[in-house]
Amino acid sequence: MSQFKIATKCVQSGYSPKNGEPRVLPIAQSTTYKYDSSVQMAKLFDLEEDGFFYTRLANPTVDAVEKKIADLEGGVMAILTSSGQAASMYSVLNVCKAGDHLISSSAIYGGTFNLFNKTLRDMGLEIDFCDPDAPAEEINKLFKDNTKCVFTEMLSNPALTVLDLEKWAEAAHSHGVPLIVDNTFPTAINCRPIEFGADVVVHSTSKYMDGHACALGGVVVDSGKFDWKNGKFPMFTQPDETYHGVVYADHFGPAAYGAKIRVHLMRDMGAMMAPQNAFLLNLGLETLHLRMPRHCENAQAVAEFLANDERVAWVNFPGLPGNKYYELAQKYMPNGTCGVVSFGVKGGREAATKFMDSLHLAAIVTHVADARTCVLHPASTTHRQLNDRELEECGVSPDLIRFSVGIEDVSDIIADLDQALSAATAK
């Protein structure tokens, strides 16, 4: 469906029923698939033919939603995973093994940070974190002979740092390694990183893509643009004995990276998305192009309200002129960034707690980026193990409130904020 506009792709890509078939994407609730001969099945196992044989590797419902997302991002292939965490892990483990080196932006989701800093280090990978705003010369100094990829986040959760994608893509490419971009917060509606040089895009689909907070999921999208034959990636150019010597870069051409995630990592580690969740995700995707502009519009109004309110200490939203990332946001996300606004209430940590407890419409939840307005105080929840100094180091001040603006009527959201601010700052 690549000739269509993105709104049409949201609604229609990935599934086109033939005569008499269900109009709505059916849920193929089956782990397994029937074949007429064992020869035919053997061909599937040898990767000589395409087809479904076990839902850990591929399933018709999951397959349709993968095709839609690949189309939305402008990639050649997408692989849905059980969560965003699994997607980030696969994106890196597809090119890195023990002894290899990974460079990561330091402005990334906390779960990704732990995955890299703890689990992947324990598995023998070397990691260097780098401030995403660092000048190119500083980023370039981090590359080593064993560097295999660079990981970044387009619009970071919760710090709302906007990535200078072209700067990072140039650094990665001049060292012959791919750039991976977590595009969860903007979604493909507001930003398509592949158009600016990303080689791999990952998402937590649990956020705006699902949009209703009902199905956990992740996705890895292969742009099909990276040259895996540049001499640094033997896993793509040398035979894989577990598939009778297939050479991924030859056998799968531009989709080598995506294909290897499916047939190698998914086969061995199995963090597949369930067909039921793919169905729910698809329902969300059918309205993504309607929801994202509304999230952005509501968040812009909320950010402007907060910025003009004397009970508020500070506001961080890349759509506010004067924000540190305003220009980068205009460049990479001209139609809007996302619905998340962070701010501090005068009176610090104590006022923040009082403010949160006084909200009626906005619910206190860990989740972020769905249709219902919700709020989180990281210092007392997700980041509560850290002391104030450690909090500052990871860009989360003790008074930071992460406010995820939903798609309700914005005047109701602002009225709720207004009364909670009064309650929190009352003498």
Q: Minimum distance between the CB of residue 214 and ligand PLP, rounded to whole angstroms?
A: 12
Closer to ligand PLP at the Cβ: 216 or 333? 216
- Give the nearer residue to ligand PLP in terms of CB position, either 11 or 394: 394
What angle do helix axes 410-425 and 348-358 make, rounded to 10 degrees?
130
Instruction: Write down the least CB distance from residue 101 to ligand PLP, Å.
Output: 22
Which is nearer to ligand PLP, 315 or 368 (by Cβ)? 368
Which of 88, 147 has the CB closer to ligand PLP? 88
Find out whether 100 and 125 touch, Cβ atoms under 8 Å. Answer: yes
Between residues 55 and 85, which has the closer beta carbon with respect to ligand PLP? 85
**Separation CA 388–CA 406 (nearest Å):** 29
Amino acid (one-letter) located at 357: D
Please, what is the minimum distance in Å from the beta carbon of residue 213 to ligand PLP? 11
Least CB distance to ligand PLP at residue 119 (A) = 13
Q: In angstroms, what is the minimal distance from the CB of 150 to ligand PLP?
A: 16
Smallest distance, Å, CB 421 to ligand PLP? 26
Give the per-residue SS3 of the chain: CCCCCHHHHHHHCCCCCCCCCCCCCCCCCCCECCCCCHHHHHHHHCCCCCCCCECCCCCHHHHHHHHHHHHHHCCCEEEEECCHHHHHHHHHHCCCCCCCEEEEECCCCHHHHHHHHHHHHHCCCEEEEECCCCCHHHHHCCCCCCEEEEEEECECCCCCCECCHHHHHHHHHHCCCCEEEECCCCHHHHCCHHHHCCCEEEEECCCCCCCCCCCCCEEEEECCCCCCCCCCCHHHHCCEHHHCCECHHHHCHHHHHHHHHHHHHHHHHCCECCHHHHHHHHHHHCCHHHHHHHHHHHHHHHHHHHHCCCCEEEEECCCCCCCCCHHHHHHHCCCCCCCEEEEEECCHHHHHHHHHHHCCCCEECCCCCCCCCEEECHHHCCCCCCCHHHHHHCCCCCCEEEEECCCCCHHHHHHHHHHHHHHHHCC
Closest approach of Cβ 403 to ligand PLP, in Å? 15
Q: Which is nearer to ligand PLP, 83 or 190 (CB)?
A: 83
Binding interface with ligand PLP (CB under 6 A): 83-85, 109, 111-112, 153, 157, 182, 184, 204, 206-207, 216, 218
Least distance (Å) from ligand PLP to the CB of residue 86?
A: 7
Cis peptide before 132 (omega within 30 of 0): no
**Minimal distance, residue 153 CB to ligand PLP, in Å:** 6
User: Which one, 105 or 204, has the nearer CB to ligand PLP?
Assistant: 204
User: Is the CB of 108 or the CB of 356 nearer to ligand PLP?
Assistant: 108
Nearest distance, CB of residue 351 and ligand PLP, angstroms? 26
| Shortest spacing between CB 111 and ligand PLP, in angstroms | 5
Nearer to ligand PLP, 207 or 232 (CB): 207
- Edge to edge, the sheet with strand 126-130 lists 77-81, 218-222, 200-204, 179-182, 147-153, 101-105, 126-130
> For ligand PLP, which residue has the nearest CB?
84
Give the nearer residue to ligand PLP in terms of CB position, either 85 or 353.
85
Give whichever of 81 and 147 is closer to ligand PLP, judged by the CB atom.
Answer: 81
The candidate with the shortest Cα–Cα distance to 64, out of 278, 294, 380, is: 278
